[in-house]
Amino acid sequence: MKITEQVWQFAEPLVKKNGCSLWDVEYVREGGEWFLRLYIDKEGGVDIDDCERVSRAVDPVLDEKDPIPESYRFEVCSAGLERALKRPSDFAQFMGAPVLVKLYQPRNGRKEFAGTLTGYEDGRVSVQMNGNEFTFEKTEVALVRLRVEF
């Protein structure tokens, strides 16, 4: 089982107990250091107190379970307004919302498409943009994230 899956299993109940939901678990190397990040969310938004409370709840369990052999930094962050959509449930939750789709390779000379999320099925993402619908195969899509419009 992947580190992120292990951490998700024991962290999710602790995050919920502290009034938030677990959006994502990330284990990445940046600038020569490893980072374990929990991204949390809640109705009305997450503040620094939420992050601190969740961090205090999860940190001792991380020490006890010890799922990561090397040294790393542990962070708890807000999922953010422009969060990435990864799971089918993420796409279902934000159907009709403004999104940005980034592609690995350009299509019609562009790699980014900003529009309204209109569909998600088996990894295929559909977006309405300027009255036209675009559908992208799972293999084309590098990232789909929410887009904040002002």
Answer yes or no: is pLDDT of 150 > 80: no
Q: Which pLDDT band, with edges at 50, 70 and 90, does 104 fall under?
A: very high
- Average pLDDT along the chain: 94
Residue with tokens 């995050």: 15
In the sheet that 98-107 helps form, which strands lie side by side, from edge to edge?
A: 132-136, 124-129, 110-121, 98-107, 141-146
Residues 23-74 pLDDT 10s: 999 999 999 999 999 999 999 999 999 999 999 999 999 999 998 989 999 9
Residue 109 falls in which region: left (phi positive, over 0), alpha (psi -120 to 50) or beta: left
Output the pLDDT for position 1: 80
Domain with CATH 3.30.300.70 in the chain: 3-78
Domain with CATH 2.30.30.100 in the chain: 88-146
The architecture (CATH level 2) of 88-146 comes to Roll (2.30)
Looking at the domain 3-78, which fold is it?
A: GMP Synthetase; Chain A, domain 3 (3.30.300)
